[in-house]
Structures are given as structure tokens and as C-alpha cells.
Amino acid sequence: MASGSRRSNAEAGIPAGLLHGLPASSWASPALAPLKWWHASAGQAAEPASKEVAAAGRAAVANWEVQQVAILDVARAFEEHDVEAAFLKGTDLNLRCYPLPGLRPMADADVLVAAGRLPRVARLLGELGYVNRDRPDDPAANTAFEHDFHHPGLGVDLDVHTAVDWQEGLGTTTDELLERREFHETSGVPLLTLPDLLMNVATHALRDFREASTLAIVDAHYVLEALERDWEGILETAGRWKARPALRLLLERLRRFGGAEIPQHVLEDLDTGWLSRRMSRWLGSS
């Protein structure tokens, strides 16, 4: 299935709810500085971006240009050799969700493949110049479903996932996610469906909420914009993933700190009782 380049209105700037709901220090962080730089460059800010914020923005866009070349090369190689794959998180957020590609910083690219394809994937990546950086003494938990590859010439990292998270905690499998995948309309890069991307953001954020919640909140805003807030489809996918508590927590954070209008019936549908409320209290969302 082809997926269009659905993204938020690039002329509108950062929504006021996000801009004023998150701490000022968050917008100066490397994770969000590129978006703040774009906001100021578009003439939407009260004052120009600082030198540090502008430098972070330009660096993120330049990094995306390099990452994109590597992503396209890998996607073509996988397609030519019948390897079903889907690029995750930062790649998808840049291609379809954030106002402009590159505004969502990426330390590396992440790609999902079936576990049975891993030997072929390793061989193909080797032919493209990648080196596997997994070590024999790595803890088993580190390589349970994620393998680290590096391209010395391009200076880029690629994390190959055989699952999006610990499989026993999810209600959907890698095979199911790859069967539903879409292809970006202009680049042809394989991606998760947008509802699956939102669940990936929500479940991944659980591990980082106390330290790095702001980026997940901003990610969620732009995925919801790209989804045009299709709540029925979102709720259906949350049930399929068994991700109702994670998504409820993320949406609560987005409503509180990002000023988003989340229908009450959506939060009620996602409420799993004591688990959702306990998670919210533990993470300081309510």
C-alpha cells in the first residue's frame, strides 16, 4: 500500500499548546532545538533563535540528508532481495509527520525485519559496507531483538530490530506489522502504518518517560496530526497492540503539557482501571 506524504501544516509553526506547555529548557535541548529553530526561521517566534538552537537545527537537517541516503540504499537492497522490512520511529516521523524532514533528530535509523531474515540482512548490509557491532560478551537482553550495525564511510548507525519491543508484552507480531506496512509515496521507503507508528511511539516511550518524555509528546502530536485524529482507528490499533495503558499515558501527557484536545471518551476507552491510574501516578501525569 502506498502512503502519501501526510504531515502537519508547515506554515503554522509550533502549536501554542506545545510551545508554552513544555518547559523552556526542553526547547533548548538537542531533541527539540531543531523544531524551535524552524519555528523561528518561519517567522512564527517572537525573537530569533539563539546561536545554539540555530546550530542544532542546521546540524539535524544536515544529519538527515546523510541518513536519508543510507536509508534509501538499504531500502533498495532489501526490496531487490525480497526482504520485507519497515523503517521505524525517526525515519517515519521525518518522512510523514514532522513539518519538514530533518526536524526530528535521529542518532541512528531503526528498521524492522523478520527474525528468520536476519542472516540475509546481515549479509546484505555487509555488502553495503556496514559492520555488525554486536559483541560476543553483550548481555543477552541487548541482542534479544535488536542488532547494531555501523557504516564507517557514511558515519551512520542502523539498528536492525526483529521485534519492536519485548514480544511477550505486545499483542501484535513482527509478521503482522510487516504484512500491514506501507510504502512512502515519493521515496518508496517501507514504513509501519501510521496507527502502528503511534503505538510504537507510545510503548517505546514507557521506558523513557521519566527522563525524556518531551520528545515522545511532540512525536505523538505530529503523528496524530498526520492521522487526522482518526480515533476509531487509533483505538482499534491500541487494542490490537495491547497498548491501551501506554497510549492513555502518552495522550494524558499530551493533553496536560501540549494543550491537545483529547476526547474524554478516548481516554475512557483506553482506561484499563488500576493499571492505567497506577502508571499515571508513578510517572507524574495526574
Question: Who has greater pLDDT, 48 or 208?
Answer: 48
55 Cβ contact partners less than 8 Å away, ≥ 6 residues apart? none
Mean pLDDT of 214-229: 92
Question: In the structure, what pLDDT confidence band is assigned to residue 275 with cuts at 50, 70 and 90?
Answer: low
Cα atoms in the 13 Å half-sphere on the side-chain side of 233: 12
Lowest mean pLDDT among 138-142, 251-255, 257-261: 138-142
Question: Who has greater pLDDT, 209 or 42?
Answer: 42
For the chain, counts of helices (H) and of strands (E)? 13, 8
Would you say 182 and 189 are in contact if contact means Cβ atoms under 8 Å apart? no
Mean pLDDT of 127-144: 85
Q: Select, from the ranges 25-29, 119-123, 249-253, the one with the highest average predicted confidence (pLDDT).
A: 119-123
pLDDT of residue 285: 47
* Cβ count within 10 A of residue 94: 25
**Cα(278)–Cα(36) distance, integer angstroms:** 33
From the list 113, 233, 122, 109, the residue with the least C-alpha distance to 175 is 113
**Cα(9)–Cα(16) distance, integer angstroms:** 14
60 Cβ contact partners less than 8 Å away, ≥ 6 residues apart? 33, 34, 102, 103, 104, 105
Is the confidence at residue 30, as pLDDT, over 90? no
DSSP characters for 114-160?
-GGGHHHHHHHHHHTT-EE---TTS-GGGGSSEEEEEETTTTEEEEE
Question: In the structure, what pLDDT confidence band is assigned to residue 209 with cuts at 50, 70 and 90?
Answer: low
Would you say 159 and 55 are in contact if contact means Cβ atoms under 8 Å apart? no
10 Cβ contact partners less than 8 Å away, ≥ 6 residues apart? 42, 99, 100
pTM reported for the whole predicted model = 0.88
